[in-house]
Structure 1
């Protein structure tokens, strides 16, 4: 899994995450984040599956936020498929801005069909991101709702 770098500094918990193979990303420093994604690429190259939130963070509204490009670049550079996933109920168990979990709740994860990335050029990245976004919205059961935070259109 890819996580924000700040989590790696949480005593005991952070060290356990890093030792477990989590990839820490500095979301405030683009150049550093690109270098840190190289670890994710090496893991994927060895056949290890990883999870990258396309939004770069958890949703605070329940709607999809604009996608970050990092995970899409990793997938297209390696030609590996993206498996869309929708997580329902996680914010009820671990609310945003809280580290402590509420243990009474249900979280459901739905996975979609893999989306091929082999041969996708940088110019085709916006279309790939839109396809993944549509797939995730379809898994949410809210595909017909207006997506208030849809990705910005390429000029």
Structure 2
């Protein structure tokens, strides 16, 4: 996949130096608050990407919230895929709770699983099929997310138990003083 780009919210364009670098790398920036403008940007981008055989990464949840769940999908990615009649290749990333310390707001060493699922064809689908396509994609991704997250949690159970033990000890020591 040497020809890949990503859809990002337009606000990121204005974060120096990230925005300039991302722009020069060909990221597709959309204005999430101007639906018609975002659709137009996506349609133009899709035509250019199809012509140049470039893959497009879209995060169908929009802004990710670290709640341990896959949230409802937005329709944009599915509208574009159906309109362009290109397949969807769901990519699932397991939970990153094993290496993200929320309290200290730091990353620690650990593992995650990133898995590409079989492609979902959009050939012959129309605008009327988008909700069903979204539900099918989301269901497959949730199943794989849960499976891969369980695997990661099992591999890191010693670390999680150590962390819980540390939190219990910290709580006990603060209540005895």
1:43–1:136: structure 2 CA closer, same or farther, 3 Å change rule?
farther
Question: How many residues in Structure 1 have an aligned counterpart in Structure 2?
Answer: 140
Report which of the two has the higher share of helix.
2
How far, CA to CA, are the matches of 1:84 and 1:90 in structure 2? 18
Aligned 8 A contact 1:8 1:18 in 2: yes
Q: CA RMSD in A?
A: 2.5
Which of 28, 34, 50 aligns to 1:23? It is 28
Question: What TM-score do the two structures reach when normalised by structure 2?
Answer: 0.70
How far, CA to CA, are the matches of 1:35 and 1:103 in structure 2? 40
Correspondences of 1:85-96 after superposition (within 5 Å): 85-90=91-96
1:22–1:80: structure 2 CA closer, same or farther, 3 Å change rule?
same
1:107 counterpart residue number = 112
Q: Secondary structure at the match of 2:114?
A: strand
1:5 counterpart residue number = 10
Correspondences of 1:1-155 after superposition (within 5 Å): 1-45=6-50, 46-90=52-96, 102=107, 104-141=109-146
Q: Secondary structure at the match of 1:141?
A: helix
Q: CA deviation at 1:38?
A: 2.4
Q: Secondary structure at the match of 1:28?
A: coil
Aligned 8 A contact 1:41 1:78 in 2: yes
Q: Secondary structure at the match of 1:50?
A: strand
Q: Tell me, which stretches of 5 or more residues in structure 1 are unaligned?
A: 144-155
Cα offsets for 1:103-152 (capped at 9, x unmatched): 63433211110000011111111111111011111211359xxxxxxxxx
Question: What TM-score do the two structures reach when normalised by structure 1?
Answer: 0.79
Greater Cα offset, 110-119 or 85-94: 85-94
How far, CA to CA, are the matches of 1:101 and 1:52 in structure 2? 26
Aligned 8 A contact 1:89 1:107 in 2: yes
